Amino acid sequence: MTKKILIIDDNEQNLNLFSIVLKSAGYETLEANNGVEGIRLAIEEKPHLILVDIQMPVMDGFEAIQVLKSELSTKDIPSIALTAYSLKEGRDGFFKHGFIDYIEKPTKLQKFIRTIEGHLNNKA
């Protein structure tokens, strides 16, 4: 069974790059360019993993995750923050918001794939 990953990022280049990399690694991808669209897709499609940019217009990544974690149908879907934004609390700050991990942008693509695979295989 092919695992489905939802990517939520307002930067079209990042969205396309992450999608191409994940598809080449054998995953199915869904793409949304804002938090509202991402929430809709997550509820409809029930992906195995959600990658969420933090700084976006319309609804930022923290708000989107808060909504997804409050929805019965999406609350257990693991989410990873995609961010160039660092929290004062560091990694723990992302955990407090409901993310299981975060990936800094820009990122090395091999590290990106290892992180995704680790979480999808529960080895992270």
Would you place residue 85 in the very low, low, confident or very high pLDDT band (cuts 50, 70, 90)? low
- pLDDT, one tens digit per residue, over 53-70 is 999 988 999 999 999 999
- Count how many residues are written for the chain: 124
Are 115 and 86 in contact by the 8 Å Cβ rule? The answer is no
Contacts of 9 (CB under 8 A, 6+ apart): 15, 18, 31, 33, 51, 52, 53, 56, 82
Q: What mean pLDDT is predicted for residues 64-78?
A: 96
**Torsional sign, CA 32, 38, 44, 50:** positive
Element spanning 83, H or E: strand 79-83
Provide the pLDDT for residue 77: 97
Domain annotation for the chain: domains and CATH numbers:
4-120 (3.40.50.2300)
Would you place residue 87 in the very low, low, confident or very high pLDDT band (cuts 50, 70, 90)? low
Provide the pLDDT for residue 119: 94
Provide the pLDDT for residue 90: 64
- pLDDT, one tens digit per residue, over 96-109 is 889 999 998 888 99
Q: How far apart are CA 10 and CA 1, in angstroms?
A: 29
User: What tokens were used for 68?
Assistant: 């997804």
- pLDDT, one tens digit per residue, over 7-66 is 999 999 999 999 999 999 999 999 999 999 999 999 999 999 999 999 998 899 999 999
